[in-house]
C-alpha cells in the first residue's frame, strides 16, 4: 500500500509555538531555533585555519574548547562585511560539536506561532533556500528560519 503525503501549504509547516534567536546578516533578519544555541559571544579572536573551505573563518577558543567559526556571510553568498566590522558569534551545537556562526548582530528571542511559518517563497535565492526551513512575516520584515544542520554541512553547496 502506498501512502501519498500531502504537501504542506503555507502556514501549515508547524503547529506549536517555536522559539528563535534572531540575528542579522547583511541586513537580513534570520532566526535559528533557540534550543540549538549554546552561547552568544561578542567579538572574538578568530584564528585562520590553513586550507579550510572559504566559509570557515577559522577557529576560536571557547573556555578552553576549540570551536570552528563559520562566516555566515560567505556561507550564504553575501558580500563581505565592511572593513573593521566586528562580527558576533552565535555558538551552536550539532552532532556533539560546537560551532560559531559569525553574524553582524544578534537580536532577541522570539516565540512565534508555528502555524504562521510559511514555506520558502519562490523568489528566495537558491543559496538561502538550501539552508532555510521557511519564513515568518514580521512587521514588514521577512525572517528566514535557518536550518543549523544544513548551514553547517559544507558539503551542501549554497548556490545562487
Identify the band that residue 156 occupies on the pLDDT scale cut at 50, 70 and 90. Answer: low
Distance of alpha carbon 75 from alpha carbon 54, whole angstroms: 8
CATH of 17-152, one of 3.30.70.270, 3.40.50.410, 2.40.50.180, 1.20.1740.10: 2.40.50.180
Is the C-alpha dihedral spanning 94, 55, 78, 131 positive or negative? Answer: negative
Distance of alpha carbon 123 from alpha carbon 149, whole angstroms: 23
The pLDDT of residue 132: 95
C-alpha cell read off for 73: 556571510
pLDDT tens for residues 98-129? 999 999 999 999 999 999 999 999 998 888 99
Identify the band that residue 6 occupies on the pLDDT scale cut at 50, 70 and 90. Answer: very low
Instruction: Tally Cβ neighbours within 10 Å of residue 132.
Output: 21
Q: Which residues of 79-104 are buried (b: 16+ CB within 10 A; e: fewer)?
A: eebeeeeebbbbbbeeeeebbbbbbb
Q: Does the predicted model carry a pTM greater than 0.75?
A: yes
Three-state secondary structure call for residue 51: coil
Contact 23, 89 (CB under 8 A): no
Strand extents, DSSP E, the chain: 17-25, 28-33, 37-41, 56-62, 65-71, 88-94, 97-103, 105-113, 132-138, 141-146
Amino acid at each position: 500500500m502506498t501512502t501519498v503525503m500531502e504537501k504542506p501549504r503555507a502556514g501549515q509547516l508547524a503547529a506549536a509555538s517555536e522559539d528563535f534567536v534572531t540575528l542579522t546578516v547583511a541586513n537580513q533578519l534570520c532566526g535559528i531555533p533557540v534550543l540549538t544555541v549554546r552561547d552568544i559571544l561578542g567579538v572574538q579572536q578568530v584564528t585562520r585555519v590553513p586550507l579550510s573551505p572559504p566559509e570557515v573563518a577559522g577557529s576560536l577558543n571557547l573556555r578552553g574548547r576549540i570551536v570552528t567559526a563559520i562566516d555566515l556571510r560567505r556561507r550564504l553568498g553575501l558580500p563581505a562585511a565592511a572593513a573593521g566590522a566586528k562580527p558576533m558569534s552565535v555558538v551552536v551545537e550539532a552532532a556533539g560539536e560546537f560551532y560559531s556562526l559569525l553574524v553582524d548582530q544578534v537580536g532577541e528571542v522570539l516565540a512565534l506561532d508555528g502555524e504562521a511559518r510559511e514555506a520558502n517563497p519562490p523568489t528566495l535565492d537558491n543559496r538561502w533556500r538550501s539552508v532555510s526551513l521557511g519564513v515568518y512575516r514580521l512587521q514588514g520584515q521577512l525572517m528566514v528560519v535557518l536550518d543549523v544542520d544544513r548551514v553547517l554541512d559544507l558539503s551542501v553547496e549554497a548556490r545562487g
